[in-house]
């Protein structure tokens, strides 16, 4: 089979209501390009019938190439699988819930034809998301930007176009805890952002509860920054510095008969404060060590039940 010009990757986790509309709108947009294209639908362990729907759709539409996971591995790994299976010269990652309007893809392709190798979509506006989601997302992107060594563009999700060269490099990065937008920034290449209005979900609710968002944030930080580890060092130096300065003060106070440092409260506060700092530092260290442990185990990133070749006639 001839390799397509464009690949679209959409991770699917319980999106049965959005799928038909997604396929229709994507097909409309992609047919306008006049080039060959494929749509990799990665089913991330859906339980609402999305899986069967994808299987059926693949029978009728040769553009659709399903990758079906044995269980839920998470959004970032679903996209990773898509990157492994796609064959296009330009690859677009898009959410299946239609929060990313497919029409923006045409604009990305224009930029790609101008020579840009990564075209990421920047959320200039967000619709239909809760105050909590918008605020935590805004804080998250800004914090990541400040503390990571890679300059990951602000307010940018995974909705982006990647040139084949970039996809090949990213496929060689086998880290287990993946933060794809960071990885795409890390590789370099010629990059540009285009603004877009993030729509409300077409149907259903977010598949990113707070727990998953926190996990993503921790992966983002630990994958691209040592800053949290260094914080312990800074606090250590500061408290050691204060203690040294305190020694002559206390000696003078005692010699002059002052009672300023009598009582247990001072001791207790100091001990609790340092104990707290030490436990937090240990926890931070644990986050990194746990990730080293996961890397050392060398387990596969995801397990597929069915892959595109199972659907070829
Ligand atoms: N998704 C996935 N696996 C998951 C969670 C989400 O494949 O464990 C998919 C989901 O179907 C959607 C995309 O990832 O296509 C983004 O998820 P969602 O829209 O729930 O996140 P939000 O837009 O609320 O941040
Ligand atoms: Mg969404």
Domain at 132, CATH number: 3.90.550.10
> Which atom of ligand 1 is nearest to 11's Cα?
7
> Same domain for 187 and 238?
no
> Same domain for 199 and 238?
no
pLDDT for residue 66 is more than 90: yes
Q: Which of 51, 126, 207, 214 to mutate to test the pocket of ligand 1 (most atoms within 8 A of CB)?
A: 207
pTM of the model: 0.84
> Which atom of ligand 1 is nearest to 213's Cα?
25
What confidence score (pLDDT) does residue 262 get? 66
The answer to the question of residue 165 being in a domain is: yes
> Same domain for 239 and 273?
yes
The answer to the question of residue 33 being in a domain is: yes
The answer to the question of residue 1 being in a domain is: no
> Same domain for 112 and 251?
no
Q: What is the spatial order of strands in the sheet that 118-126 belongs to?
A: 191-198, 118-126, 156-163, 90-93, 6-12, 37-43, 64-69, 304-306
What confidence score (pLDDT) does residue 261 get? 66
> Which atom of ligand 1 is nearest to 14's Cα?
11
The answer to the question of residue 116 being in a domain is: yes
pLDDT in tens, 234-268: 988 998 888 888 888 888 888 887 777 667 777 88
Torsion sign over Cα 60, 64, 65, 67: negative
> Same domain for 216 and 275?
no
What confidence score (pLDDT) does residue 274 get? 85
> Same domain for 30 and 127?
yes
What confidence score (pLDDT) does residue 313 get? 72
pLDDT in tens, 1-59: 578 999 999 999 999 999 999 999 999 999 999 999 999 999 999 999 999 999 999 99
As given in the structure block, the two tokens for residue 212 are 């998953």
As given in the structure block, the two tokens for residue 275 are 């104990």
CB under 5 Å of ion ligand 2: residues = 95, 97, 99
Specify the 3-state DSSP secondary structure of 178: coil
Can you tell me the distance from the alpha carbon of 208 to that of 248, in angstroms, rounded to the nearest whole number?
A: 54
> Same domain for 283 and 305?
no
pLDDT in tens, 157-169: 899 999 999 999 9
> Same domain for 276 and 303?
no
> Same domain for 123 and 243?
no
Can you tell me the distance from the alpha carbon of 273 to that of 226, in angstroms, rounded to the nearest whole number?
A: 23
Output the CA torsion 6→10→15→21 (10° steps): -20
Ligand 2 center to residue 186 CA distance, Å?
Answer: 24
The answer to the question of residue 201 being in a domain is: yes
* Residue 296 or 204, more confident: 296
Domain count, the chain: 2
The answer to the question of residue 188 being in a domain is: yes
pLDDT in tens, 111-129: 999 999 999 999 887 777 7
> Same domain for 138 and 244?
no
Q: What are phi and psi of 6, to 5 degrees?
A: -120, 145
What confidence score (pLDDT) does residue 1 get? 58
User: Taking CB atoms and a 6 Å cutoff, what residues make up the pocket around ligand 1?
Assistant: 11-13, 15, 44, 72, 74-75, 78, 95-97, 99, 206-208
What confidence score (pLDDT) does residue 308 get? 92
Domain enclosing residue 192, as ranges: 6-225+299-311
> Same domain for 108 and 246?
no
pLDDT in tens, 76-112: 999 999 999 999 999 999 999 999 999 999 999 999 9
* Residue 154 or 85, more confident: 85
> Same domain for 10 and 155?
yes
DSSP string of 108-119? HHHHHHTT-SEE
């Amino acid at each position: 089979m001839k390799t397509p010009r464009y690949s679209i990757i959409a991770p699917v986790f319980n999106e049965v209501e959005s799928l038909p509309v997604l396929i229709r709108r994507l097909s409309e947009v992609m047919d306008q390009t006049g080039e060959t294209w494929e749509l990799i639908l990665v089913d991330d362990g859906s339980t609402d019938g999305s899986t069967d729907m994808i299987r059926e759709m693949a029978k009728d539409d040769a553009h659709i190439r399903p990758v079906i996971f044995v269980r839920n591995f998470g959004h970032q790994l679903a996209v990773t699988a898509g990157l492994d299976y796609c064959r296009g010269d330009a690859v677009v990652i898009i959410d299946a819930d239609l929060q990313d309007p497919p029409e923006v893809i045409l604009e990305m392709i224009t930029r790609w034809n101008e020579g840009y190798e990564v075209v990421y979509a920047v959320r200039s506006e967000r619709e239909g998301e809760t105050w909590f989601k918008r605020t935590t997302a805004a804080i998250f992107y800004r914090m990541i930007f400040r503390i990571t060594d890679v300059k990951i563009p602000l307010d940018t999700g995974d909705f982006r176009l990647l040139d084949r060269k970039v996809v090949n490099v990213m496929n060689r990065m086998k880290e287990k805890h993946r933060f794809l937008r960071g990885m795409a920034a890390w590789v370099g290449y010629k990059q540009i952002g285009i603004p877009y209005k993030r729509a409300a979900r077409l149907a259903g609710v977010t598949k990113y509860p707070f727990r998953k968002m926190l996990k993503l944030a921790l992966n983002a930080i630990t994958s691209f920054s040592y800053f949290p580890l260094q914080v312990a060092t800074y606090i250590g130096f500061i408290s050691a510095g204060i203690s040294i300065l305190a020694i002559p003060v206390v000696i003078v106070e005692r010699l002059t008969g002052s009672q300023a440092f009598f009582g247990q409260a001072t001791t207790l506060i100091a001990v609790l404060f340092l104990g707290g700092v030490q436990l937090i530092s240990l926890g931070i260290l644990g986050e990194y060590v746990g990730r080293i442990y996961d890397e050392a185990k060398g387990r596969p990133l995801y397990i597929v039940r069915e892959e595109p070749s199972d659907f070829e006639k």
